[in-house]
Amino acid sequence: MSLKFLLDENIPSSVFKFLKERKYDAFYVPKGAKDRDVAELAKRENAVLVTRDYDFANILLYPPQEFHGIIILKVHPPVAEKLISSMKSVLKATEDFRGKVFVVLEDRIRVLE
């Protein structure tokens, strides 16, 4: 099964294009979706959630084992080049996102399980 990415609405289209150019299945959450609806959609679609919303790092509200993976891009300022560079780093770091939350900072990646 190939990786599928669900992009939160706070992720710019440049990241979407980056993923599509690399032949990944990527799609956006519906506009205005609440966090719990985003979480349910990610689970239902077996998609890795990509967001800038640090709320998803709360492993009590969003237990990693229930997800196909969560990537939180904590990059400042959140400009396209930095976000794409962060995505490249996390894609290079792992192939198996299941059950893990990746908090991607500029200089490192923290993994929560």
How many domains does the chain divide into?
A: 1
Q: What CATH number has the domain bearing residue 98? A: 3.40.50
End-to-end CA distance of the chain: 22
Q: How many angstroms separate the CA atoms of 44 and 75, rounded?
A: 28
Which tokens hold the place of 53?
């919303």
Q: How many angstroms separate the CA atoms of 5 and 18, rounded?
A: 12
Low-confidence ranges of the chain (pLDDT < 70): 1
pLDDT at site 111: 95
Give all strands of the β-sheet with 4-7 in edge-to-edge order: 25-28, 4-7, 48-51, 70-73, 101-104, 109-112
pLDDT at site 92: 94
pLDDT at site 86: 94
pLDDT at site 28: 98
Q: What is the pTM of this model?
A: 0.95
pLDDT at site 1: 52
Range of the domain at 101: 4-112
Q: What is the pLDDT of residues 61-74, one digit of tens each?
A: 999 999 999 999 99
